[in-house]
Structure 1
Amino acid sequence: MKNFSTGAAWSLAGRRAAAVMLACLAAGSAHAIECRFRPNAPDQHVVVKGDTLWDISGAFLEHPWCWPQVWGMNRDAIRNPHWIYPGQIVYFDRRNGRLTLTRPGGADADAGQPPLVRLSPQLRTDALGPDGAVPAIPSSAIEPFLTQPLIVENDTLAGAARIAAVPENRVYLGEGDRIYVRGDLNGATSFQVFRPGKALVDPGTGRTMAYEATFTGTARLVTPAGNGADVHSFVVTRSVQEMGIGDRLLPTPPAVPRNYVPHAPQQPVAARVMAVPSEVNYASQHQVVAVNRGALDGLDVGSVLQLYHLGQKVKDPEGRRKGLLDFSGATLQLPDEQYGELFIFRVFGHVSYGLIMQATVPVQVGDVAKSPE
């Protein structure tokens, strides 16, 4: 997270702004999270390019993801807080315990605020915002994970069509080349092509949950199987890596809803970090990790989890022999230590992608990610 001075950032406040100590019930969560202003919160901030709503809120709030509650997003009628722009000034009205775009003590504290809007059951918003508005989270870090099959769960892999043959003497397939595909297309005509990679193993159970997938390109159906042919004829429409026999095909997914309103999960979730960026053992702020929980476990897009290092067992330094009992091998269980926060932005059945929003130490495979406390 950025280090802010008295120019630290935040975004629009609602008409009913939060009190200095506000018990915030996260949308749909089973328990309340205290959403407090920081004791050293600045008086104002000039919004600059590169700010995000998460970073901005972290300068004013102890829990950065509380900004929807500060805006009153759990109410039926609120102001739309998402679109703020570089150059605007956000003020902390300490007397009234709220944030405003108008200098405290001015004639109209709500001047320049967006009009009231009525929410549907879920508020969806584009990460980038319109016309240069400040995004909710660093969108560039997650864009590749929104459009490509970088995780493929076991049941999906088992049912995926595969490239069964390519034209003779073809080593590298490029745009316009033919490929021949075996398998059920389920009525789709446009596909993404991928190659299954490293198994993603649940740190708790040792069970393979899914596979990393290398995106190799896209292909379009030309002629379905039939009339004596056992395979479908496809044409390669894009090739980003070598594509060949054995690669799998998945239908091009619809646009991923970008419901980037942070909230606690609707039910308690205890996940483990299952994978970090390829070829490395650690991850840091604004990198993506995979966890071993998904939609079937209570996660949805926008869920926030707290990151912990799993408490270790250590030898008790005071362990000693007492009478006939030997305590020399006694151990102590250390507590899990919280060190960061994870924002879930893409969810599968039992696997999800999360963006590390804050971390004071590196994230490792096996670390705990659970509902805020």
Structure 2
Amino acid sequence: MSRPRPLKITRWGAVAAQATMAAAVAAALPAQAAPNYPVTPTQRDTARQVAQAGVPLSELAPDAPESHVVKRGDTLWDISKLFLKSPWRWPELWGMNLDQIRNPHLIFPGQVLVLVKRDGRAMLQVGQSVSADPPVERLSPRVRSELLDNGAIASIPLHLIGPFLNEAVVFETNELELAPRIVATQEGRVLLSRGETAYVMGDLGGAREFRLFREPQPVRDPETREILGYEARYVGTADYVRPGEERLGADGKPRAVPATFVVTTIRMEAGVGDRLSPVPQRELTAYAPHAPAVPVEGRIASLYGDALSAGQNQIVALNKGRRDGLERGHVLALWRAGRADFDTTSGKKTPIQLPDERHGLLFVFRVFERVSYALIVNVKDPVVPGDRFTSP
């Protein structure tokens, strides 16, 4: 039987140990100074040593198996849930170091993952048994995942966020007001479906594939009411067919002839007034869950779509973005606000405020300057705008 394909590690770097970085910073500083204090070389060395050492045995799930054979459809998050209480801490479980940047380990269906326990810590390895008796069966890869081009399994379920990589867009300004727009439809139809023709006016800038958006709405900070950006509702896509031109009308005056487009995909029916924005290059990042390097706190700015509340596997917009230190792959804790109540045990009715309770996790997958989009990985209660999130 052939040997298992070796574990391949590519591009993880300064953030691979970020799941432990916050702890290293907090341990070295007074609590009030930690959020804004720079990460020093000494603290980076501490984080490197912690990450390379694996996780404490106390972080293992109570029923963590001794080994696991990777199956088609597995993700690193799924596998880590088998072994860890907090699955987003899988970089520590793998013994990542700061020279291995951002991309997760590449593992394949059919490989055997073995939990190695040593000196009070645990680490996951590929194809290596913790003891020779009985040996762990070694399997060569037989089935390849379709989630990544090279057959490796993904770090998270990409099908949950894939549709939103081009659809969930926040514009820094209301730039769609000046974007190309549909000015007329095939045979004067009110709404357009896939395969139908749209006539477009505006500067196309040389692009040939466009996304269609409805009128953008401002995304406001729930606390300050500051406009953080403009979220445009995604309609679909359209492809360029032929350019516009200028012709002389019957009255001898010049008239503009719109460019011709065909609607290629539809999330909702398109219509006159919808705006066009070029389709960006597809982001094929292998997302690696990790905690922010420094403490982060913010609020849910809005829910994606028309829902009044959101649950597991739904998308929310956060009031923090690139300028606040958020990046793709960050894992954040969701908090349920404590309700106002009364203490009646002393014979008086004294107003009290119950504490907030942690009740879920967010996974950040798109980051703009002042806004980010996150997937609700798990949650106990419905999420609404204004709910709080923090570092996990």
Q: TM-score scaled to structure 1, two decimals?
A: 0.74
After superposition, the Cα gap between the structure-2 partners of 1:243 and 1:130, relative to the gap in structure 1 and judged at 3 Å, is: closer
1:349 matched to 2:369? The reply is yes
After superposition, the Cα gap between the structure-2 partners of 1:199 and 1:156, relative to the gap in structure 1 and judged at 3 Å, is: same
1:335 to 315, 339, 355: 355
After superposition, the Cα gap between the structure-2 partners of 1:156 and 1:268, relative to the gap in structure 1 and judged at 3 Å, is: farther
After superposition, the Cα gap between the structure-2 partners of 1:197 and 1:13, relative to the gap in structure 1 and judged at 3 Å, is: same
After superposition, the Cα gap between the structure-2 partners of 1:29 and 1:164, relative to the gap in structure 1 and judged at 3 Å, is: farther
Unpaired runs of 5+ residues, structure 1, are 1-10, 15-23, 115-125, 322-327
After superposition, the Cα gap between the structure-2 partners of 1:315 and 1:70, relative to the gap in structure 1 and judged at 3 Å, is: same
Corresponding residue of 1:26: 18
Corresponding residue of 1:54: 77
Asked whether the equivalents of residues 190 and 272 of structure 2 are also in contact (C-alpha less than 8 Å), the reply is: no
Deviation at 1:137, TM superposition (A): 0.7
2:224 to 191, 194, 205: 205
Asked whether the equivalents of residues 180 and 232 of structure 1 are also in contact (C-alpha less than 8 Å), the reply is: yes
Quote the Cα distance in structure 1 between the aligned partners of 2:257 and 2:23: 54
Letter in 1 for 2:300: V
- The farther-off stretch of 265-274 and 134-143 is 265-274
Asked whether the equivalents of residues 275 and 365 of structure 1 are also in contact (C-alpha less than 8 Å), the reply is: yes
Asked whether the equivalents of residues 259 and 301 of structure 1 are also in contact (C-alpha less than 8 Å), the reply is: no
Letter in 2 for 1:235: F
Corresponding residue of 1:17: none
Residues 169-210 of structure 1: per-residue CA shift (max 9 Å, x gap): 33343536241223x444434311121366644332345543
Quote the Cα distance in structure 2 between the aligned partners of 1:27 and 1:39: 17
Letter in 1 for 2:343: D
Quote the Cα distance in structure 1 between the aligned partners of 2:331 and 2:22: 13
Corresponding residue of 1:142: 161
Identity of aligned residues (%): 37
Corresponding residue of 1:38: 60
Corresponding residue of 2:298: 271
Quote the Cα distance in structure 2 between the aligned partners of 1:205 and 1:136: 35
1:165 matched to 2:188? The reply is no
Letter in 1 for 2:269: E
Quote the Cα distance in structure 1 between the aligned partners of 2:242 and 2:84: 55
Compare the two structures and name the one with the higher helix fraction: 2
After superposition, the Cα gap between the structure-2 partners of 1:113 and 1:331, relative to the gap in structure 1 and judged at 3 Å, is: farther
Deviation at 1:26, TM superposition (A): 0.6
Quote the Cα distance in structure 1 between the aligned partners of 2:90 and 2:271: 47
State the superposition RMSD in angstroms. Answer: 3.8
Quote the Cα distance in structure 2 between the aligned partners of 1:176 and 1:74: 53
Quote the Cα distance in structure 1 between the aligned partners of 2:21 and 2:208: 40
Unpaired runs of 5+ residues, structure 2, are 1-5, 10-15, 27-49, 248-253
1:243 to 270, 276, 288: 270
Residues 240-291 of structure 1: per-residue CA shift (max 9 Å, x gap): 2432211011111111241411222344322222333534443333332222
After superposition, the Cα gap between the structure-2 partners of 1:224 and 1:13, relative to the gap in structure 1 and judged at 3 Å, is: closer
Quote the Cα distance in structure 2 between the aligned partners of 1:287 and 1:341: 12
After superposition, the Cα gap between the structure-2 partners of 1:159 and 1:348, relative to the gap in structure 1 and judged at 3 Å, is: farther
Letter in 2 for 1:134: I
Matched residue SS, 2:233: strand
- The farther-off stretch of 136-145 and 68-77 is 68-77
Which structure 2 residues correspond to residues 208-287 of structure 1 after superposition, within 5 A? 209=228, 210-220=230-240, 222-223=242-243, 228-230=254-256, 232-240=258-266, 241-276=268-303, 278-287=305-314
> Number of residues paired by the alignment?
332
Asked whether the equivalents of residues 221 and 232 of structure 1 are also in contact (C-alpha less than 8 Å), the reply is: no
Q: TM-score scaled to structure 2, two decimals?
A: 0.71
